[in-house]
Amino acid sequence: MPTFQFPNAFPPGFGSIGAQSFSAIDSQLRNPYIQQWNLTVEQEILGMGVRASYIGTSTRQLIWVQQINQVPPSSAPFDNGQRRFPALRDVALRVNGASHKYHSLNLVAERKLQNGVYYQLGWTWAKNMTNCLTDGDGGCQPLNAYNRNADWGNVDYTPRHRVAGSLLYDLPFGKGKRFLSGSRVADWVLGGWTESSIIVLQTGLYFSPNFSGFDVSNTNTTGSQRPDRVADGNFPSSERKISRWFDNKAFVVPGDLTGDGRPDVKAGRFGNSAPNVIVGPGTLLMDGGLHKRFQFGERLRATLEGTFTNVLNHPNYGTPNMNIRSGSVGQITSLYGRYSAGPRSGRLGLRFEF
């Protein structure tokens, strides 16, 4: 016999201890929508194409998960009988209502290939804000089901400033070039070389200090939570170290009156810190390559190339420890993993075209 069958869908005693959870979808759920706009001005200056753009987007009716069975934060100790449906645990209802806003200024200078030189350099200032901190079709879930806007903050993966550039330079030696164009030996040894490089500089990504293990809000929430923010928490650039990246004393567990990292009283609320208020380490990355072209008659060509990531072998650091109750809070013990920003690496290749 099946365990669940109609007309009595649930067996006797089901949910009596508040251990069962359900997911549901609003019957009026709609697709989110995005509005995008931009204003761009272009001009040629000193042989370069210069472009300035303001770009904005606004996303509305993003899906978020409302825990309709969460007890509202209060000074009263948690009691399962305070739930809207006491026989159940979590009831995750997917509804519309979250939002996202993006504004940016983008400046780009570009020179088309001329006399063997091409380059492009761009700078972006961006402010990316949302109250839906998780991407994906399943929706985001705020810490407090009754105050979604407490999750309004920086999107963690968008730096405030980012510079990106690329360069191609054909070395001026060999056949058809400015120097040594009449020497076959020089053309074979020095001709056909191209240097390529890409550079990325950006300010740090954003992170949230957190703590866990205490139900400070009397909602039976003991997982990762945001603390109270009593100061800015971001050190000046000159004071940031991998051993202590941010001021952990700027964040306290709600209800911690003695400063020992434990709540002395139940605060009856969640922490007041917005998400993603700490700026992490910036990134400096330069990739480069050398490419040598050989021509064998009219139908056979070969290219010898060496390409390298992080040519300068600059250390790009990862996320600091954001647990304010940890003995290693603020310490960085990893490297940044995106854009091949880790230790320098290289690759040699030989390609034939016929």
* Residue type for position 252: V
Give the whole-angstrom CA distance, residue 192 versus residue 3. Answer: 75
Give the whole-angstrom CA distance, residue 253 versus residue 230. Answer: 11
Tell whether 19 is covered by a domain. Answer: no
Label residue 99 by pLDDT band (50, 70, 90). very high
Label residue 47 by pLDDT band (50, 70, 90). confident
Whether 173 shows a pLDDT value over 90: the answer reads no
Provide the pLDDT for residue 7.
Answer: 77
| pLDDT, mean over the chain | 91
Tell whether 200 is covered by a domain. Answer: yes
For residue 54 the two structure tokens come to: 């303001």
Tell whether 80 is covered by a domain. Answer: no
Give Cβ neighbours of residue 340 (< 8 Å, ≥ 6 apart): 285, 287, 309, 310
Provide the pLDDT for residue 39.
Answer: 98
Label residue 136 by pLDDT band (50, 70, 90). confident
Distances (CA, A) of 4 to 7, 25, 235: 9, 21, 58
Tell whether 94 is covered by a domain. Answer: no
Give the whole-angstrom CA distance, residue 186 versus residue 191. Answer: 7
Number of domains in the chain: 1
Provide the pLDDT for residue 314.
Answer: 94
The predicted model scores a pTM of: 0.86
Residue 115 buriedness (CB in 10 A; 0-12 / 13-18 / 19+): exposed
Provide the pLDDT for residue 339.
Answer: 81
Provide the pLDDT for residue 175.
Answer: 77
Lowest-pLDDT range, 53-62, 73-82, 247-256? 73-82
Unique residue bearing structure tokens 């006399």: 115
Whether 94 shows a pLDDT value over 70: the answer reads yes
For residue 293 the two structure tokens come to: 């072209």
Label residue 208 by pLDDT band (50, 70, 90). very high
For residue 141 the two structure tokens come to: 């879930």
**DSSP-assigned letters across all residues of 189-237:** HHTTEEEEEEEEEEPPPEE--BB-S--TTSSS--SSB--EE-S--BPPG
Whether 11 shows a pLDDT value over 70: the answer reads no
Tell whether 11 is covered by a domain. Answer: no
* Residue type for position 126: A
Give the whole-angstrom CA distance, residue 82 versus residue 88. Answer: 11
317 vs 47, more confident: 317
Segments in the chain forming alpha helices (H): 184-190
Percent of the chain residues topping a pLDDT of 70: 97
Distances (CA, A) of 126 to 59, 88, 102, 163: 16, 43, 7, 11
Tell whether 306 is covered by a domain. Answer: yes
Per-residue pLDDT averaged across 165-182, rounded?
A: 84
Provide the pLDDT for residue 12.
Answer: 67
Domain of 162, in residue numbers: 32-59+99-353
Tell whether 10 is covered by a domain. Answer: no
Whether 85 shows a pLDDT value over 90: the answer reads no
Provide the pLDDT for residue 15.
Answer: 57
Give the whole-angstrom CA distance, residue 51 versus residue 44. Answer: 9
Label residue 16 by pLDDT band (50, 70, 90). low
Per-residue pLDDT averaged across 294-304, rounded?
A: 87
51 vs 177, more confident: 51
Provide the pLDDT for residue 240.
Answer: 95
Whether 8 shows a pLDDT value over 80: the answer reads no
Provide the pLDDT for residue 137.
Answer: 78
The answer to whether residues 200 and 285 touch, using CB atoms and an 8 Å cutoff, is: yes
Tell whether 282 is covered by a domain. Answer: yes
Give the closest residue to 165 by CA, choosing from 124, 199, 196, 197: 199
